[in-house]
Amino acid sequence: MSRALRTRDRILEGAIDLAAQLGLEGLSLGHLAERLGLSKSGLYAHFGSKEDLQIQVLGAAAERFVDEVVRPALEEPRGAPRVAALCERWLAWASTGRSGGCVFVAAGTELDDRSGPVRDALEATQRAWLETLARACRIAQEEGHYEQGVDPRQFAFELQGILFSFHHQARLLRDPEAANRARRAFGDLDARARGGASSREPSC
């Protein structure tokens, strides 16, 4: 990897964390240069504009998300175990250990009223994630784990809701029970998709 590429990657790593804390709009080149101890003109060499930086940050965050959430889940057996792994990996991704929480959740409420290429890039990542959840549900149906009558997009909607509620209660309310509540809600969703009575045991 060339030195320029390494520097760019290092900048993007710092920028993802900053964006998760301050929002994508808080991601000024000046602020980032100060945080990373680089010159503003040095940053301009890598990113022509704030908008370019924001879009590249979303792309880098999406790569990190695939590495930390999607790819490890794909190593699990097809079907229900893979759905559970997506849930569990997401909880780790957004856990309180990570400064700023999930950059996509933060950016979602920040950009939902705007228009333009940054919003479009964010929207694309969120559609891809919901489709990943729906596809995992479909595979669980193919494997005979989940009932045929389950609507994969409704399943994705409800699973996403559990993850959002976890993010809110763990981060804003600092509720130590948030992960347990999320696992219990997921266990219930999973049990219903299997066609069984609601389980009250955590299974995610």
Provide the binding-site residues for its own copies, judged by CB under 8 A.
20-21, 23, 25-26, 99-101, 105-106, 108-113, 122-123, 126-127, 130, 153-154, 157-158, 160-165, 167-169, 171-173, 177-178, 181-182, 184-185, 188, 192, 198
| Pairs from 145-154 (Cβ < 8 Å, separation ≥ 24) | 145/79, 145/80, 145/193, 145/194, 146/79, 146/80, 146/193, 146/194, 146/195, 147/193, 147/194, 147/195, 150/193
What is residue 75's three-state secondary structure? coil
- Beta carbon nearer to its own copies, 2 or 99: 99
Q: Give the helix ranges, DSSP H, for 25-76.
A: 29-36, 40-46, 50-65, 71-74
- Beta carbon nearer to its own copies, 8 or 24: 24
- Beta carbon nearer to its own copies, 67 or 177: 177
Nearest approach in angstroms of CB 130 to its own copies is 8
Nearest approach in angstroms of CB 82 to its own copies is 21
- Beta carbon nearer to its own copies, 160 or 203: 160
